[in-house]
Structure 1
């Protein structure tokens, strides 16, 4: 099967219910070997249980492919698949890579050095000062930032990068037609127009809780390294950092006050081998090796 047809099939599969990232990769592998598989055979290759098999098969036949293609085109939403040359090489080699990414904006940002920056959803003056100290020199070295467009540090990362004239990539855990949190709508639209906005979820996908750990693997997987500004001992930021560690990427952490719960996570990362960051040079010397 030609790549174009496989991409269209991947688009079709991404609109289906009852399957996730791992299932789509299994189905893609099966289709490369045999492009004539039925929906039921694909469900078997993906090892779906009976409930998800029914969900998948029912949704597979209900997708109006031409109508869906026109809808995405009208909303200027494009996609790339793991089969495309433009698919990020670093992301391709993570555990459980997304088979397809929907995007708006400038795909050439994938060619820059990418640094994930994450932190607490409750912005503190310390976190803001740390970003103010670190970001300008990183941006001057043409490092593009990657974050999750959440409240707090994520939002600050994107905004400060833009204010400094840098480039930023936002990874969200909803369809590209959702704004979550709603207060970030203006920022998300700016990133989609002038930078790069990415999701593995189709239009209409709501902000379900389990989507965000999945989003974090893309944040970590795209990037050469992950910088954690502030984090509680158990937090989404630490999930992202641990995913980066699992993929052999650099993990950086800003140390904090040992009595502050929002420094517990970063201090623990440093204790267990993350690089302690006191200046931009501590990041640049690792990324430029």
Structure 2
């Protein structure tokens, strides 16, 4: 059972300092219920949160102000469900990350988070029709076997994966690199409507947070962290997609890459990953067989 007083204090803290749980742990070890935080000396806060003296002072002022703000009611009004790290619906697989989210903000189908199998399908922002063609072979078997498709709600391959999964009657989660009050990129505005009405969007940032380049890199670890496997259709040799591949490999996840034509720059990422140990994929049933094997071994 969630301690509501602790949740309110954690929401206030995260509203003004949205940092991962590993950076918050020194404070929680000293003040596990956050009952003393608002009374702590600036020097102590500075040390525990690894902030400069001036940033610690501003944090304390903002935190005390946020404690008096009805954040939970504001989130409920906007159909946003906050999930602290100790919430029953907080995905257990994220807890194994080096830097798990302190808080998740969810909008839509929360039940998607506790389903058995999640597979990420990602690729280039300027994906070609080759990604669409590949997904036509890969996604239908996954949807048929009730696998939840995870992607980053970016334009290109991510949008294709969400849209195609929806059209197939499947389930999909969009992981954002910003807060829920922002819809980015603008090309995906209609897709956001579909995702929020029928599926799930998820962020580790409070709703007001605007997109920043490094937030999308942070988001990538959640895409791979949520998923048992990561599928890559197209990607440049150096890209956010390759960054997600690295997160997946670092955390022991299976990576499947669609082999691509050597004439395409968007094949360099998948082809290089195949050379480094990723598995080639051309049909979703290859992934289903592996997932069923994992379930059978449990």
Tell me the TM-score normalized by structure 2: 0.91
2:62 to 59, 62, 68: 59
8 Å CA contact retained: 1:13, 1:24: no
State yes or no: 1:265 paired with 2:269: yes
Q: Which runs of 5+ in 1 are unaligned?
A: none
In structure 2, the CA distance between the partners of 1:163 and 1:26, relative to structure 1 (3 Å rule), is farther
In structure 2, the CA distance between the partners of 1:269 and 1:65, relative to structure 1 (3 Å rule), is farther
Deviations 1:139-180 (A, max 9, x none): 101111000100000000000000000000011111101100
- Match in the other structure for 2:107: 104
8 Å CA contact retained: 1:114, 1:222: yes
In structure 2, the CA distance between the partners of 1:254 and 1:51, relative to structure 1 (3 Å rule), is farther
State yes or no: 1:172 paired with 2:171: no
Aligned 1:136-285 pairs, distance under 5 A: 136-285=140-289
Structure 1 residue 214: Cα displacement: 0.8
Tell me the TM-score normalized by structure 1: 0.93
Q: What is the root-mean-square deviation in Å for CA atoms of aligned residues?
A: 1.8
Aligned length, in residue pairs: 287
Deviations 1:108-160 (A, max 9, x none): 11222100111000020111100111111111011110001000000000000
Q: Which runs of 5+ in 2 are unaligned?
A: 294-298
Structure 1 residue 63: Cα displacement: 1.8
